[in-house]
């Protein structure tokens, strides 16, 4: 696979995993709001799984960069990194909100 295609595949994977992580985190908030706390916890774990996939791809890219294999910085790459950072922030906030709903339930 040509290097450019591999970079595009990695970038698209980051975007997809970021979107899936954020979506699962949002579903966790909705589940907690409805009183489905076990489902909320499961959705947070699902979000974490998607974020781990994205983190592994980022680690691979950073390792290559450190070894002198520089990836081109494109608008799509910047968008992918932004997507991941927003997903991480949203996941953190979702975890706090689920915890709050749990306290309200008690």
- Binding site annotation covers 82? yes
Enzyme catalytic residues: 79
Among candidate residues 79, 92, 66, the one with its CA nearest the CA of residue 14: 79
Residue 36 to residue 39: CA distance in whole angstroms:
5
Joined together, the tokens standing for residue 51 give: 């974020």
Burial (0-12, 13-18, 19+ Cβ within 10 Å), 25 = buried
Joined together, the tokens standing for residue 96 give: 């706090």
Binding site members for Mg(2+)? 82
């Amino acid at each position: 696979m040509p290097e450019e295609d591999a970079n595009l595949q990695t970038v698209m994977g980051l975007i997809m995993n970021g979107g899936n992580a954020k979506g699962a985190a949002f579903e966790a908030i909705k589940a907690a709001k409805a009183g489905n706390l076990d489902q909320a916890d499961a959705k947070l774990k699902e979000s974490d799984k998607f974020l781990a996939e994205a983190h592994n791809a980022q680690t691979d890219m950073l390792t290559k960069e450190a070894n002198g294999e520089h990836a081109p910085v494109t608008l799509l790459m910047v968008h992918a990194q932004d997507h991941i950072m927003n997903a991480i922030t949203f996941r953190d906030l979702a975890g706090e909100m689920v915890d709050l709903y749990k306290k309200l339930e008690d």
